[in-house]
Structure 1
Amino acid sequence: MKRSSGARLCATVAVGALSLALVTGCSSDDSKKDKGTKGSGSGAGSSSSSAPAAAALTTAELEKLLLAQGEVEGYKVASGDDILPKSKAGVKTDKAACDPLAWATAGLAPGDTNANASNSVSEDKASTATAQPEDIADAFNIAMTFVGLSSYEGDGAEKAMKAVSDGVTACSGGYGLSAEGENSKVTKVVAEKGTGGGDEAVAFAEDVDMDGEGTATFHTEVIRKGNTIATFYTVNFAALASGEATKIPAAVVQAQVAKLK
């Protein structure tokens, strides 16, 4: 397996492309080293009768609702500006119905809105970095969750959730994905049970072709509370390299949903 050029590149590939480059690029001991205004307990969509608010929050208001440092014990928060794709224009699929899935995974708004904010929440492990290879490898053994918030006018949030739920069904056989200049192939999409919360939730898993060297499974969760939608996607580079499963941490989901209005 190839070695990588660094954590920032690895994270960009992980969120944007979900390709072989993620594995071959992220199990690395090389040391070389993109967010703009972006926006589950159930499987393919559980909903309540709660009506969404009429007016969307602004991007600035969403930024204030993102998790902040110290709000989730055992985790540290970063802006994600240098990791997440900058806009939907940089994330494309070969099936329009699959766009909301790709956007949600990339921390972008899954629906039609310009009110979007995002950040990253990572396990806060004490640094033990030395020149030893095992310590360098351990630096990648951290679960990083990319969180996106988006807000919508009228029933826009409910429409966005339906688009995600419909996408899980329409894209069950997979789709092609191009993001940040990297191409990859999602071979399967299935609904699954997530942490849940809010008024409506959709959770799904995607199997991604690792350039003929098997597949890797990635998990995404989308939760609506009123007219605000939160998306969650977690990656652990060391786990990917070893084939271990990486779940979205419930503590992060619950803390973020609790902050939504």
Structure 2
Amino acid sequence: MKRSSGARLGATAAVSVLSLALITGCSDSGSDDAENTEGSGSSSSSSAPAAKAATSAELEKLLLAQGDVKGYKVASGDDTLPKSKSAVKTDKAECNALAWATAGLAPGDTDANASNSVAEDKAATATAQPEDIADAFDINMTYVGLSSYDGDGAEKALKAVSDGVSACSGGYGLAAGGENSKVTKVAAGQGSGQGDESVAFSQGVDMDGEGTATFQTEVVRKGNTVATFYTVNFASLGSGKAAEVPAAVVEAQIAKLK
């Protein structure tokens, strides 16, 4: 069970998803008090938009829907992800933005947040054969979060993530859902180049003495909206192989943002 909490980096019952072999989505996530409004994005080339932040309801309509990405299944309503930032604690304040982004929560200071999940759709081709049942676990699931900000809040959110990647390179402690996990290292990754700026990073998570699992996250800003993408493959948790954030999912989601 502890392994699942480490894998989700903020989810409290990912094991239920694995045991049922069903792909479900993330719950709507409201955010509480946010810290770390400083940090650095990759390449901010435009000034902060003057538009007001969108509401959570408006963000829900901008999330990817079924049929938006060919070969992927979109789902929502999963109650296993934390609903607020108060449910995700780190032992280093500068690492908060990383943990929040990974949990589908807003990495910056805002109350406007929405999330869901997008997974490879293998169910359509699966049969009752044992090999197909095993293969059903070998699915890349991406948790997508959207958040919106007033003024230059979105740029500050990206900066918080970028600064966190550097400040937390040596790892940090994470508490969520009454369980503790240890992120052993954080490393900068290659962003997709989508949106106005993006930050990508990988995190190594201790699997309770059974090795380290590596997970990829990308955070993209388009205007005053920030999209977070965190991908996990339950079948490869013990292999040390990281599941890549699908480019098709990132591109399709950013294309829907205003």
TM over 0.5: yes
Alpha-carbon distance in structure 2 between the residues aligned to 1:224 and 1:31: 34
2:105 is equivalent to residue 112 of structure 1:
no
Alpha-carbon distance in structure 2 between the residues aligned to 1:252 and 1:31: 24
Counterpart of 2:212 in structure 1 is 215
Summarize the Cα distance change of 1:208–1:37 in structure 2 as closer, same or farther, 3 Å threshold: closer
Counterpart of 1:180 in structure 2 is 177
Unaligned runs of 5+ in 2: 32-39
User: Please, what is the CA RMSD of the aligned residues?
Assistant: 2.7
Counterpart of 2:92 in structure 1 is 95
Summarize the Cα distance change of 1:53–1:72 in structure 2 as closer, same or farther, 3 Å threshold: farther
Alpha-carbon distance in structure 2 between the residues aligned to 1:146 and 1:95: 23
Instruction: Give, in angstroms, the shift of residue 50 of structure 1.
Output: 4.2
Between 1:121-130 and 1:201-210, the stretch displaced more is 121-130
Counterpart of 2:36 in structure 1 is none
Q: 1:86-141 CA deviation, whole Å, 9 max, x = no partner?
A: 111111100000000000000000011110000000101125253x5433322211
SS of equivalent residue, structure 1 residue 178 = strand
Summarize the Cα distance change of 1:193–1:31 in structure 2 as closer, same or farther, 3 Å threshold: closer
SS of equivalent residue, structure 1 residue 68 = coil
Percent sequence identity is: 70
SS of equivalent residue, structure 1 residue 72 = coil
Alpha-carbon contact 2:191-2:200 (below 8 Å) kept = yes
Counterpart of 2:246 in structure 1 is 249
Alpha-carbon distance in structure 1 between the residues aligned to 2:9 and 2:143: 11
Q: 1:39-60 CA deviation, whole Å, 9 max, x = no partner?
A: 7xxx962221243233000011
Alpha-carbon distance in structure 1 between the residues aligned to 2:82 and 2:131: 31
Alpha-carbon distance in structure 1 between the residues aligned to 2:213 and 2:153: 32
Letter in 1 for 2:162: S
Alpha-carbon contact 2:229-2:245 (below 8 Å) kept = yes
Q: 1:175-233 CA deviation, whole Å, 9 max, x = no partner?
A: 00011222111111111102121111111011111112221111100000110000000
Within the candidate set 4, 14, 39, 2:7 is matched to 14
Letter in 1 for 2:257: L
Alpha-carbon distance in structure 2 between the residues aligned to 1:101 and 1:241: 22
Letter in 1 for 2:126: T
Counterpart of 1:76 in structure 2 is 73
Letter in 2 for 1:36: D
Letter in 2 for 1:128: A
SS of equivalent residue, structure 1 residue 46 = coil
Counterpart of 1:203 in structure 2 is 200
* Paired residue total: 245
TM-score (norm 2): 0.86
Alpha-carbon contact 2:10-2:82 (below 8 Å) kept = no
Alpha-carbon distance in structure 2 between the residues aligned to 1:161 and 1:155: 10
Letter in 2 for 1:139: A
Alpha-carbon distance in structure 2 between the residues aligned to 1:248 and 1:174: 21
SS of equivalent residue, structure 1 residue 164 = helix
Alpha-carbon contact 2:171-2:186 (below 8 Å) kept = yes
Alpha-carbon distance in structure 2 between the residues aligned to 1:190 and 1:48: 24
TM-score (norm 1): 0.85
How is 1:153-168 mapped onto 2 (pairs within 5 angstroms)? 153-168=150-165
Within the candidate set 131, 135, 138, 1:134 is matched to 131
Instruction: Give, in angstroms, the shift of residue 26 of structure 1.
Output: 8.4
Counterpart of 1:152 in structure 2 is 149
Unaligned runs of 5+ in 1: none
Alpha-carbon contact 1:161-1:202 (below 8 Å) kept = yes
